[in-house]
Amino acid sequence: MASTPDLEQRRAALEAIADEIRQCTLCPLYTGRTHAVPGYGRVDADILFVGEGPGYHEDQQGLPFVGQSGHYLDELLGKIGLTRAEVFITNVVKCRPPNNRDPLPLEIDTCTTTYLHRQIAIIQPKVIATLGRFSMGLFFPPNARITRIHGQPHRADGRIYYPLFHPAAVLRNPNLRPDMEADFKRMLDLVAAAQPEVPPPDEPEDEPPPRQLSLF
Ligand code: URA
């Protein structure tokens, strides 16, 4: 199917950001990278996954979630009938922190204000699924604990934020698998329940609002 001009423009804008990321020198992480990892997927994805940052394999290939965590993410997507080409996957920081250490506040602030928020504005996902605590920390209060709030959708800014465990945490602790898989299974319901940013023009004004999700 031919893509609309709007979609072409959005794709070009996203690719321009990816080019900026590949040349970025705004924080010290660039000094250790092999490849920056801007993200992968559909420009008009309903679901945006935000992980923490590239690891060894992602740094080698320039693609997000291509190591063990990525294989598990693919498996989880497969269980709900999706592939990575049908969503968008990116990270809080786009360059690998040395020895996979936690990203620092300055690195997170620089990378998200310069790139992630612009990517979100272009993709306009209905659901932002956060993978792990650093990603969750961007959209949820600082005292939020992943073990308590995973799988609890939160509606704000016309979309749904959905906190999930990081796939690597689930691989390390297989007891988390049933929760992770149950959280994934709700994802398509969340997409269906998310309100579009702009209602379709032919929608009658007096139509009752769509059923609300039970959100906290
Ligand atoms: N872990 C992440 O958080 N992101 C990746 O891209 C890979 C592993």
Q: State mean pLDDT over 107-121.
A: 98
pLDDT classification of 198: cutoffs 50, 70, 90: low
pLDDT classification of 12: cutoffs 50, 70, 90: very high
Q: State mean pLDDT over 9-30.
A: 98
Whether 64 lines ligand 1, by a CB cut-off of 6 Å, is yes
What are φ and ψ of residue 147, in 5° steps?
Answer: -65, -25
Whether 62 lines ligand 1, by a CB cut-off of 6 Å, is no
pLDDT classification of 49: cutoffs 50, 70, 90: very high
CA-51 nearest atom, ligand 1: 3
Whether 59 lines ligand 1, by a CB cut-off of 6 Å, is no
pLDDT classification of 210: cutoffs 50, 70, 90: very low
The residue whose CB lies within 8 Å of the most ligand 1 atoms, and thus the one to mutate among 69, 71, 108, is 69
Span from the CA of 206 to the centroid of ligand 1 (angstroms): 45
Whether 55 lines ligand 1, by a CB cut-off of 6 Å, is yes
pLDDT of res. 4: 73
CA-69 nearest atom, ligand 1: 8
Give yes or no for residue 214 having a pLDDT over 80. no
The residue whose CB lies within 8 Å of the most ligand 1 atoms, and thus the one to mutate among 35, 49, 52, 112, is 52
Span from the CA of 91 to the centroid of ligand 1 (angstroms): 7
CB half-sphere exposure, 54, CA atoms < 13 A: 25
pLDDT of res. 10: 98
pTM: 0.90
pLDDT of res. 207: 44
Give the model confidence (pLDDT) of 89-105 as tens digits.
999 999 999 999 999 99
DSSP calls for the chain? -PPPHHHHHHHHHHHHHHHHHHT--SSGGGGG-SS----EE-TT-SEEEEES---HHHHHHT-SS-SHHHHHHHHHHHHTT--GGGSEEEESSSSPPGGGPPPPHHHHHHHIIIIIHHHHHHH--SEEEEESHHHHHHHS-TT--HHHHTT--EEETTEEEEEE--HHHHHH-GGGHHHHHHHHHTHHHHHHHSPPSS--TTS-TTPPPPPPP---
Residue-range domains of the chain with CATH: 22-193 (3.40.470.10)
CA-131 nearest atom, ligand 1: 3
